[in-house]
Amino acid sequence: MSKITQEIKNFLDLQKLGYVATVSSDGTPNLSPKGTIIGWSENQLAFANIRYPDTMKNLKTNPHVEINVIDPLLRKGFLFRGMAKTIKDTPLYHDILRYYRDNGIKSPIDSIVLVDVADISEVTSPLYDMGISEDEIKLKWKKHFDSL
């Protein structure tokens, strides 16, 4: 799968946390939580650069990224692979910034990272392989989080 469908965009809008993996200049991995991942077009994701100095530094030397967004109750989600570029003070930057502002994001946004998505994979828990239903999995994890 390589297109960001409306279903995937809706999923990303519902989930409030994803993880972006980059590689530092010395080859070590960097995994950073992001709360602003959106499906911008059918082949681009975006996230806001709010407080991500390591991610931004890594993207300057290696634009390859993997982004993982999972529903914590359903244990389902998506893995996106692609190439990132940073935009600032362009018409597209202002369009995406307006989208974030219209959706309640108040934090200062220094720049926007656009990811040209090359590949999308569905991610599911091994529990599904055992024949456990989505409702059962959701109930199990809901009980877990409610008990905290």
DSSP labels, 14-36:
H---EEEEEE-TTS-EEEEEES-
d(CA 134, CA 128): 8
**Does a structural domain hold residue 60?**
yes
Average pLDDT over residues 3-9: 96
- Mean predicted lDDT score pLDDT of the chain: 95
pLDDT score for 1: 65
pLDDT digits (tens, 9 = 90+) for 89-146: 999 999 999 999 999 999 999 999 999 999 999 999 999 999 999 999 999 999 999 9
Whichever domain contains 97, its CATH number is 2.30.110.10
For residue 68, tell me if it sits in a domain. Answer: yes
Question: Pairing state of beta strands 76-87 and 111-124?
Answer: antiparallel
Contact 37, 18 (CB under 8 A): yes
75's CB contacts (< 8 A; 6+ apart) are 124, 125, 127, 128, 137, 141
Residue 29: CB partners within 8 Å, gap ≥ 6?
21, 22, 23
Domain containing 115 equals 6-146
Q: Tell whether 105 is covered by a domain.
A: yes
Strand partners, 44: 116
Mean pLDDT within 19-42: 95
**What integer pLDDT is reported at residue 53 of this predicted model?**
86
In a domain, 1, yes or no: no
For the entire predicted model, the pTM comes to 0.92
**Ramachandran region, residue 107 (left: φ > 0; alpha: ψ -120 to 50; beta: rest):** beta
8 A C-beta contact, residue 47 and residue 36 = yes
Q: What does the pLDDT read at residue 137?
A: 94
Query: Which two three-digit tokens encode residue 55?
Result: 């991610």
Per-residue pLDDT reduced to its tens digit, 7-30? 999 999 999 899 999 999 999 999
Number of domain units in the chain = 1
- Give the mean pLDDT of 80-85: 98
User: Is 31 inside a domain boundary?
Assistant: yes
Tell whether the model's pLDDT for residue 58 goes beyond 80: yes
48-73 mean pLDDT: 94
